[in-house]
A = this chain, B = another copy of it.
């Protein structure tokens, strides 16, 4: 029963013995203590390298109370928007020595079911990039003293810091681009009803349309998915009073919408204009050429990372709110401004 269950790990004590210094010194070398003289440091590092020593993160965390782990909470990764930010966030966090633990709820699953896992994960902080995670989760994290940054979503009264895009302003931009191109029967295909982004984009859109005299806006529910865009558009377009322009809550929904229009034999943008939100790479594909509102993702992610790090260092920092403007990217799915309905030229 006293065999070798696992080959014993190399610890700082092994390195200390082998290089003729104290364990404290080894520790200081690996925490980059400035007081260690170069010669000592070099010798310790050489021995460590030779023995294959790596500091034990658990032991370190136990004392420092930092795990160097951040949790990233997203919804449905089949929406290309999330892989995009996931990749950027992990790159950013790796740069500052934090590793990223992923929490995702696939389509259908409820993210709140992950709550126990999330709460016991002992990360230094969270980025909540899920559109639909309930505010309850956010509240629980904050109660547990764990800093939270909300990425492109709001959670009223949560006291969490937020970084986001001006979704209302973005919706307004879309209203203008459609009215300027001469459209008169706009429609909106929503994302999940519990998502602040969808609500805000719709609100800006409807608000601006009303300001310019259009109060009758068709609407379909949706779920930020390709299929919901396809189905929503099919219903709208088969209607006797079909819209001549559809704003979708995000790009992937708009792509489903475009495919539905194509299947019905409609010409885009002559018969129907379509606008999305996000500017994911696929929006530029020649199958879609989607006009959309680009979110300043790079900047949003950089700010979120910095903000979360600040909160981790000084946990009593008051919550902040940063909102950045989106930018309209015109492509082939909309007509140019001042387009008169009599034009019939052009091609998909």
Contact = CB atoms under 8 A, between A and B. Distances in A.
A83 B77 contact: yes
A103 B90 contact: yes
A91 B62 contact: no
A258 to B, nearest CB: 8
Contacts of A230: 286
A65 interface: yes
A121 interface: yes
A229 to B, nearest CB: 11
A280 B101 CA distance: 24
B90 A86 contact: no
Interface string A263-304: 100000000000000000110011110000000000000000
A69 B102 CA distance: 11
A61 interface: yes
Interface in A11-56: 52, 54-56
Interface in A89-132: 90-91, 94, 99-104, 106, 109, 114, 117, 119-122
Contacts of A62: 56, 58-59, 62
Contacts of A90: 102-104
A135 interface: no
A160 to B, nearest CB: 18
A154 interface: no
B286 A263 contact: yes
Contact of A144 (B52, B72, B87, B315): B52
B262 A287 contact: yes
25 contacts: A52-B143, A56-B122, A57-B67, A57-B121, A57-B122, A58-B122, A69-B101, A72-B102, A77-B86, A78-B80, A78-B83, A82-B83, A83-B86, A88-B106, A90-B103, A90-B104, A91-B106, A91-B109, A100-B102, A101-B101, A101-B102, A102-B102, A255-B285, A259-B286, A262-B287
Given A255-B287, A259-B285, 7 more contacts: A54-B119, A54-B122, A57-B67, A77-B87, A87-B106, A99-B101, A260-B286
